[in-house]
């Protein structure tokens, strides 16, 4: 809650789950309905995102799956309790959570998502070179073995030549 703001509005983010007994289209309409409830209480919706059907980490009221939906809005703090109460009473929303967040523009929001994906990618990259090193080590070992084999062959050839020389020489006896 930023006290510096004169208007008293601050940015909030709400994530809510619609139970699985609705179809996806119905869930979308319910999400719009919920957003309608939010706007009725004097909120200005800034961002909305429908995540779609996801598996819940644990069962909520015998639901294994749920439709997640996210929306960000500017609202006065006092109006939040009304939204909270109405959503708690409704059967169309399994669970919801309202959290205060810093004000973020659309570009920044995209940048954050990119950063998150990049961070996870970077970690994978760090792991890969180790594997390559191991592979290269194995390769060098194999090469060494080949070299050894070559040496053996060369030795045999030399021996053959020597033997031939010895045999061909008539001064043996």
Partner 1 sequence: MSNKKPKECFYCVNQLDVDYKDVRTLRRFINFYMKILPGNRTGVCAWHQRKLTQAIKRSRVMSLLAPTHK
Provide the minimum distance between the beta carbon of 24 and partner 1 in the complex, in angstroms, as a whole number: 18
Looking at 8-105, list the stretches that DSSP marks H as alpha helix, in order from N- to C-terminal side.
24-40, 80-89
Provide the minimum distance between the beta carbon of 73 and partner 1 in the complex, in angstroms, as a whole number: 16
- In our burial notation (b when 16+ CB lie closer than 10 A, e otherwise), range 11-47 reads bbbbebbbbbeeeeeebbebbeebbeebeebebeebe
Q: Which C-beta is closer to partner 1: that of 37 or that of 94? A: 94
Q: Which two tokens stand for residue 155?
A: 């030795």
Interface with partner 1 (CB under 8 A) = 15, 17, 56-58, 60, 66, 68, 70, 95, 97, 99, 112, 115-116, 118-120, 122
Q: Which C-beta is closer to partner 1: that of 117 or that of 168? A: 117
Q: Is 149 exposed, middle or buried (0-12, 13-18, 19+ CB in 10 A)?
A: exposed
Q: Which C-beta is closer to partner 1: that of 112 or that of 163? A: 112
Provide the minimum distance between the beta carbon of 112 and partner 1 in the complex, in angstroms, as a whole number: 7
Phi, psi of 89 (to 5 degrees): -80, -25
Q: Which C-beta is closer to partner 1: that of 37 or that of 60? A: 60
Provide the minimum distance between the beta carbon of 132 and partner 1 in the complex, in angstroms, as a whole number: 21
């Amino acid at each position: 809650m930023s006290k510096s703001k004169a208007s008293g509005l601050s940015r909030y983010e709400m994530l809510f789950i619609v139970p699985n007994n609705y179809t996806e289209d119905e869930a979308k309409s319910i999400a719009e309905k919920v957003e309608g409830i939010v706007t009725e209480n004097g909120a200005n919706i800034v961002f909305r995102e429908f995540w779609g059907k996801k598996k819940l980490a644990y069962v909520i009221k015998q639901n294994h799956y749920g439709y997640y939906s996210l929306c960000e809005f500017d609202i006065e703090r006092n109006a939040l309790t009304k939204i909270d109460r109405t959503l708690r009473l409704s059967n169309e929303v399994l669970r919801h959570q309202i959290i205060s967040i810093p004000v973020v523009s659309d570009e920044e929001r995209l940048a954050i998502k990119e950063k998150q994906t990049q961070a996870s990618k970077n970690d994978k990259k760090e792991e890969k070179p180790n594997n390559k090193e191991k592979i290269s080590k194995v390769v060098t070992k194999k090469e060494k073995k080949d070299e050894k084999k070559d040496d053996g062959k060369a030795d045999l050839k030399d021996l053959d030549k020597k033997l031939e020389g010895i045999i061909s020489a008539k001064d043996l006896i």
